Structure 1
Amino acid sequence: MVNRAITGDVSEPELCVAYFQSADFRSLAPRGQKVRRGILERFCINNNDGEKPYSELQSKHLRLRRDAMMDRPEAANNMIKAVRQVFKYAMKYQDFDRNPAVAVEYLAGNPDGFHAWTPEEIAQFEDAHPIGTTARLALALALYTGQRRADLVLLGRQHMTSHNGSDWLRFTQQKNIRNKPVHMEIPIAPELRVVMDATPMGDMAFLMNGYGRAFTSNGFGNKFRDWCDAAGLPQCSAHGLRKAAAARLAELGCTEQEIMSITGHKTSKEIARYTRSANQRVRAERAIDKMSVKKIGE
């Protein structure tokens, strides 16, 4: 069935099934495959659109679908991105002559992304979840490694190594692991070490759920949502901790390259978005200090 010839008269689900067998799809990491498959399956069952021939799909139809998701711009954009890939496959393997999703613009999302935790919010979470709890370990791992939740749930003792007498974490990030793997080596901060030493942890995964098993990425996100709510922080989430980690490094005066060595970003574009507010505060503080020194010297 791999790359079998299909006609424009077949339905959208049939095209997606053929795409799922392609090298383009199968080269994605397992989590990437799961996410994209879910997006496309939801796309196909919307208002029975899946019964229509995929050749009838036009850009105007996709814009209507996108606009119906304006309250969730990131989800809408991910849908358009997934459909683009399906029709890219159709053009390469099925002799289809157009990609209706290419002309569909992405929605403008929140320019600042997920809410970045403030120092006060971090302290409030720590007060609610003392050292020794899994919640506190999760917070510390996120803050002192700057990793995505898909990586946090996989970190375990097998990733620990020693370098110059210090403990380090050595691992490969899950995002784009098959196509563009990012290999990481991060020293374990003393603050993180204190929390780890005081908290029951698993072997192959530090973070364990209530059943004594490793979290899935989604399961961890849901549990962290519960921990935030218990701490009175409904505006906070696990996503925002990665941004908070980068912002803290920026406030300490770390360069973009230094921050990227912790977060694993390959370009400074995303780092600049993460640290925009932090850099502004640092520059403002320096500007006032310079102005104050000048006034004192006058």
Structure 2
Amino acid sequence: MTRRLKYLAIDTDRHGNERIYFRRHGVKTRLRGPYGSDEFLTDYQKALAVDGRKPVQKKVCKEPERTSIRWLCVQYFKSSMFTSLDPRTQKVRRAILEKFCLNNNNDGTKPFAMLLPKHIRARRDDMSEFPEAANGMIKAVRQLYRFAINYDHHDGNPAEKVEYLRGNPEGLHTWTIAEVAKYEATHPVGTMARLALGLALYTGQRRSDLVNFGPNHVQDGWLVFRQHKGRKTKPVHLEIPIIQELQRLIDVTPSAGTTFISTAFNKPFTSNGFGNRFRKWCDEAGLFHCSVHGLRKAAASRLAELGCTEQEIMAITGHRTSKEVVRYTRAASQKLRAKSALSRMSSEAE
């Protein structure tokens, strides 16, 4: 035979006898010799026909114990309380609860009835460097046990007794007039970056709504839409006039897509994709601490400085309560009150 066959290993023993082995998939088989003989070829064909690989063992997911936290999470994920949530909220909450089950030597295997406030509080304190993440964990566990109570799996909510960590009371940075001007100087009229700024600043909406705005939302010079957040559980329908400056930006910015702001391929942005793109636009302007959500706060602050009431501001932002609006506009309200107070003092001095 002139051609060397595959999977063969040939050596000689201490007596000078030739040994021929067939090796494949970690299995070694002795073949009769000599190499090229009828016996060798017969054994080789038999060995070649046999798949020596071990059968792949399918992983069988072990059903969690009915008393475990993981089992409770699985039931929650199947419930309407969970499936009625916004898909992004579902994704985030599932990730938090799955991480909760894996931490601290696989806490998910422990009985959910034995979880106490002190256990959650300890987990919260371990996350104290990241207060928003810690508070997100507490909120997710609260919702898990609310499900447990509603579906008669448990009669108490240990997470309700755990306090949230105090984060930054002001939240994300609110853009100043100077920062808006710096961004505009970097991104001229006609660019997608400039239109994105205008949409955020002159509508006061979240990025999940900004990415959806398009000609189909315009009716007689008004933006008519339902806010994306809470659209399944607490829908908010808004009608906002398109002011002249925003209309100018829309008119001069080329777009072949179905939305006002689009990717380089004329496709609509996803909410996260737009957030990443806007982050780059801010960085290009040297505004490393600014974000698209900060423009929503800036819009509310400007309205407050113009003397708009909380109800008027809520009619733009879509907030159902004044709690967030007050937080957004606290500085602007203080400025207005200070101006009013000192103007009265000046009038008395005259």
Distance 1:290 1:110, change over 3 A: same
1:64 aligned residue (122, 131, 141): 122
**CA-to-partner distance for each residue in 1:248-282, whole Å, 9 max, x for gaps?**
00001111111111000111121111111001111
Cα distance in 2 between the residues matched to 1:203 and 1:118: 31
Distance 1:278 1:64, change over 3 A: same
Cα distance in 2 between the residues matched to 1:100 and 1:7: 21
2:239 aligned residue (168, 185, 189): 185
- Whether 1:235 aligns to 2:235 is no
> What corresponds to 1:148 in structure 2?
206
> What corresponds to 1:3 in structure 2?
none
Alignment of 1:11-160 (within 5 A): 11-47=68-104, 48-160=106-218
State whether residues 7 and 94 of structure 1, in contact with CA within 8 Å, keep that contact through their aligned partners in structure 2. Answer: no
The count of corresponding residues between Structure 1 and Structure 2 is 287
How much has 1:46 moved relative to structure 2? 2.5
State whether residues 8 and 96 of structure 1, in contact with CA within 8 Å, keep that contact through their aligned partners in structure 2. Answer: no
State whether residues 9 and 54 of structure 1, in contact with CA within 8 Å, keep that contact through their aligned partners in structure 2. Answer: no
Name the amino acid aligned to 1:213.
K
- Whether 1:266 aligns to 2:323 is no
How much has 1:52 moved relative to structure 2? 3.0
Name the amino acid aligned to 2:118.
K
How much has 1:205 moved relative to structure 2? 2.1
Cα distance in 1 between the residues matched to 2:314 and 2:256: 28
State whether residues 257 and 267 of structure 2, in contact with CA within 8 Å, keep that contact through their aligned partners in structure 1. Answer: no
Name the amino acid aligned to 1:204.
T
> What corresponds to 1:214 in structure 2?
268
How much has 1:7 moved relative to structure 2? 9.2
Alignment of 1:259-298 (within 5 A): 259-295=313-349, 298=350
State whether residues 68 and 111 of structure 2, in contact with CA within 8 Å, keep that contact through their aligned partners in structure 1. Answer: yes
State whether residues 65 and 109 of structure 2, in contact with CA within 8 Å, keep that contact through their aligned partners in structure 1. Answer: no
Larger RCO (CA within 8 A; separation ≥ 6): 1
**CA-to-partner distance for each residue in 1:93-114, whole Å, 9 max, x for gaps?**
2431222211111111221111
State whether residues 257 and 268 of structure 2, in contact with CA within 8 Å, keep that contact through their aligned partners in structure 1. Answer: no
Task: Give 5+ residue unaligned stretches, structure 1.
Answer: 1-5
Secondary structure of 1:102's counterpart equals helix
1:256 aligned residue (300, 310, 316): 310
Secondary structure of 1:170's counterpart equals strand
Name the amino acid aligned to 1:78.
G
2:250 aligned residue (175, 179, 196): 196
Which ranges of 4 or more aligned residues in structure 1 deviate by more than 3 Å?
6-11
Q: CA RMSD in A?
A: 1.9
How much has 1:202 moved relative to structure 2? 4.8
Q: Percent identity?
A: 59
TM-score by length of 1: 0.90
Cα distance in 2 between the residues matched to 1:151 and 1:34: 19
Which deviates the most, 89-98 or 215-224?
A: 89-98
Cα distance in 2 between the residues matched to 1:159 and 1:82: 34
Which deviates the most, 61-70 or 231-240?
A: 61-70
Distance 1:90 1:202, change over 3 A: farther
Name the amino acid aligned to 2:116.
Q
Secondary structure of 1:220's counterpart equals helix
- Whether 1:169 aligns to 2:223 is yes
Task: Give 5+ residue unaligned stretches, structure 2.
Answer: 1-62
How much has 1:214 moved relative to structure 2? 1.4
Secondary structure of 2:70's counterpart equals helix
Secondary structure of 1:98's counterpart equals coil
State whether residues 146 and 242 of structure 1, in contact with CA within 8 Å, keep that contact through their aligned partners in structure 2. Answer: yes
TM-score by length of 2: 0.77
- Whether 1:223 aligns to 2:282 is no
State whether residues 188 and 194 of structure 2, in contact with CA within 8 Å, keep that contact through their aligned partners in structure 1. Answer: yes
> What corresponds to 2:19 in structure 1?
none
Name the amino acid aligned to 1:186.
I
Cα distance in 1 between the residues matched to 2:65 and 2:172: 40
Cα distance in 1 between the residues matched to 2:198 and 2:155: 51
State whether residues 64 and 71 of structure 2, in contact with CA within 8 Å, keep that contact through their aligned partners in structure 1. Answer: no
Secondary structure of 2:225's counterpart equals strand
State whether residues 156 and 202 of structure 1, in contact with CA within 8 Å, keep that contact through their aligned partners in structure 2. Answer: no
Cα distance in 2 between the residues matched to 1:50 and 1:105: 22
